[in-house]
Chain A
Amino acid sequence: MDRFYFDHNATTPVSAEVLAAYTEALRELCGNASSIHAFGQQARQRLEEARGRIARLVGAEAKQVVFTSGGTEANNLAVLGVVRASRRGRRHVITTEIEHPAVLASCAALEREGVDVTYLPVNGAGLVDPDEVRRALRPETVLISVMHANNEIGVIQPIEEIAGIARQADVVFHSDGVQAAGRLALDGVGGCVDLYAISGHKFHAPKGIGALMLRGSVAIEPLMYGGHQERDRRPGTVNVPAAVAMGVAAEAAVRDLESEQARLAGLRDRLESMILDRIPGTGVNGGGAPRLANTTNIYFDGVNAEALLIALDLKGFAVSTGSACSSGAVEPSHVLTALGLSRDRARASLRFSLGRANTVEQVEALVEALVEAVAHLRRLSPVAVHV
């Protein structure tokens, strides 16, 4: 059976050029980048080259880039690190209801430590209102964390504007850029945000490597202890081959950005219009705001999305519902309910996230499979679908 992958917001395959760089680095760079000798220096040099490439991706300076194990660690380090480093007696954090669990669960951990957290709502399109950020500010606010692009619906937040509010209030601003990296031009990011988290495997680097862009003026408490790597902010021997691979992937992302995103936007629009034309009782979640070119989230009224996902996978089409619990079962999405969707509609929604290998033919085959599977599911449990 042919298998087609429409889940690039979960992860992306390693590209050929990244694989070549990765294997070369694994083979050639045997030193520990912290070692004083020539082996170490060689690894260190390649690590710093990679750091420079990551810095260029996000418009920052190389010394502002801290390598981590991935996006989750980068977000944890940002949120927990900034708040725990603050010496104030009362501390307050502003974030949103639609953040990734890496940020939400970090905030929940801070709440257990006595920190106040404000979770801002979003409008029906999934956008945060910057005025709400301004209104939520308190004298004790130490961090604002608003994601750049949402993983489930792709909506892009006005982070430049929110960064301006944070700067004016002298509050540290962090943004989760995991889904934005490789999909949006980020050269302006370094100039406006204080911290920015990215993850390599979302743009064709291997799993297990990510980075936090961190302005030098921001005090941060490390999550782990044990070594002086990454300027005392992230101990542990750096995974140099993965960092090298991520550097190559970052450069490729910058190079290919415009043409690839335009191509994906065309495919995504085609997918959306075909579904909306051919399947009644469907609609785009969060369609009324600027979105990532590769992402769409669609409801199929009267259909259990969990069953639809499995039915599609059994036909060879990999899609997602956005969030899963620890056992791997599907949970009603907190993002979709934050948009104001009913639980029923949230449960009837699927995420399609396109990427490099997807073609027009694949999209057309996906739509055929969807038409058939949705009709089958609706026949089994006929719920009135108003068209």
Chain B
Amino acid sequence: MSDELIAVAMSGGVDSSTVAALLHRQGLRVVGLTMQLWNQRRLPEIAGQGTAGRCCSLDDVYDARAVAAHLGIPYYVVNFEERFELQVVKPFIEEYLAGRTPIPCTLCNNFIKFDEFLELAAGVGARRIATGHYARIRKDPETGRYQLLKGIDEWKDQSYFLFGLTQEQLARTLFPLGGYSKAQVRALARQFGLPVAEKGESQEICFVPNGDYAAFIEAYFREQGLDPPRARGEIVTREGTVLGEHEGVHRFTVGQRKGLGVAVGEPLYVIATEPASRRVVVGRANELLRERLEALEVNWVSIAGLEAPRRAEVRIRHKHIAAPATLYPTGEPTRVEVVFDEPQRAVTPGQAAVFYEGEVVLGGGWIA
């Protein structure tokens, strides 16, 4: 038995439970840790029916604890509520109010899981952590650089959310599920007799019930005693023709078609939101097409940097099929100009542009 202690981030779901079981079966010393991120009793007005599938519900903690007991590993719940609110929830809200469409999972990865959690794990004696992400880490034997690769299950691949990881973080992280398909993981969970083997999938944004982020933002404002951000504004065409009114720019995201409440002959889409003038700009499907974008705060993962223009496939949202493009360096190392071979639909400010070369994540940044 190796003496090294590995901390597994356990959410109570099938994936992270299987990670704990896999490592334990390999004879590694494992400690299970569940991050308490958000108190589900807050914002009761939007709680809806139960909390199943949402992060940090007491049911999920119960399940994680049951898995740890089943495996016979030490297990603890650690409180990250304040940090999560500060580093993930507030920026998430601010982004929407600024007319962008944020990705809280990436913020959580960058600032919570692979930062404060990694530090806490080291504090309890675990230099390395393991999570249930579908992605792979490989050390390039030539450069000595850690590379991030897609998970082999293309559908479950979560590398898009992990572009912000540094070399130090990758060196201290294990993604044991990267080489498995989801079906295989579930089969393993059954084979190990895990009490969560038949549990359903969690929902996309763990702290937002039913994906209704606008209701979440409004409820959060009420809880904080702030005026609701429902500033009415106009729905306009790119030419400035007023087509109707809306209840706040935070309710709209680029590419959105539903909920505009304007009836015109052909389908209209949000092509931009302008918080300053409170205008939501709509247009026809072809007006959503963009052939270039600017990526900010770029983090290079598998390569050291960009010296010259380089071909890559670029994903502009989770589940987007990576599109061929050329990456152009700018004067600043953390700013990259991306020019697609074919114009892409709904390039959305606030989402990530992640650069791939085949299965390898070169790097990524935030869409300006």
Question: Chain A residues in contact with chain B, CB under 8 A?
Answer: 304, 306-308, 310-311, 313-314, 325-331, 376-377, 380-381
**Complex formed: what's the CA distance from A64 to B124 in Å?**
49
B residues engaging A (CB < 8 A)? Answer: 5, 31, 33-34, 36, 39, 56, 58, 61, 65, 74, 76-79, 81, 119-120, 122-125
- List residues of chain A with CB within 8 A of the CB of B31: 310, 314
Q: Is the CB of A304 within 8 A of B123?
A: yes
Contact of B125 among A304, A311, A327, A328 (CB under 8 A): A311
Give chain A nearest CB distance to B12 CB in angstroms: 10
Closest to A303 in B: B123
Q: Would B61 and A327 count as touching, CB distance under 8 A?
A: yes
| Shortest CB distance B51–A (Å) | 12
Tell whether, in the assembled complex, residue B36 and residue A329 are in contact, meaning their CB atoms are under 8 Å apart: yes
When distances are taken between beta carbons in the complex, the residues of chain B under 8 Å from A380 are 119, 122-123
Question: Does the CB pair B123–A327 fall under 8 Å?
Answer: no
Cβ of B78 and Cβ of A314 under 8 Å apart? no
Sampled A-B contacts (6; CB under 8 Å): A310-B78, A311-B123, A311-B125, A313-B74, A330-B79, A380-B122
Which of A313, A314, A325 has a CB less than 8 Å from the CB of B79? A325
Contact check, A381 vs B56: say whether CB atoms are below 8 A apart. no
Known: A325-B79, A331-B79. A314 touches B61 (CB 8 A): no
Q: Tell me, in angstroms, the Cα distance from A327 to B64 when the chains sit together.
A: 11
Least Cβ distance of B203 to chain A in Å? Answer: 19
Residues of chain A with a CB closer than 8 A to B77's CB: 327-329
Scoring A306, A327, A331, A381 by chain B CB atoms within 10 A of each residue's CB, the highest score goes to A327
Give the docked Cα–Cα distance between A258 and B61 (Å): 43
In Å, the complex CA distance between A330 and B34 comes to 12
In the complex, A377 Cα to B124 Cα: how many Å?
8
Please give, as numbers and ranges, the residues of chain A lying within 8 Å of B5 by CB-CB distance: 314
What are the residues of chain B within 8 A of A331 when measuring CB–CB?
Answer: 79
Asked whether A304 lies within 8 Å of B79 as measured between CB atoms, the reply is: no
Q: Is the CB of A327 within 8 A of B36?
A: yes
Cα distance, A380 to B119, chains bound together (Å): 7
Q: How far is the CB of B105 from chain A (nearest CB, A)?
A: 21
- In the complex the two chains form, is B58's CB within 8 Å of A327's CB? yes
Q: Is the CB of A381 within 8 A of B79?
A: no
- How many Å lie between the Cα of A304 and that of B78 in the bound state? 11
Apart from A308-B123, A310-B31: 11 A-B pairs, beta carbons within 8 A: A310-B33, A314-B5, A325-B39, A325-B79, A327-B36, A328-B65, A328-B76, A329-B78, A329-B81, A376-B123, A380-B119
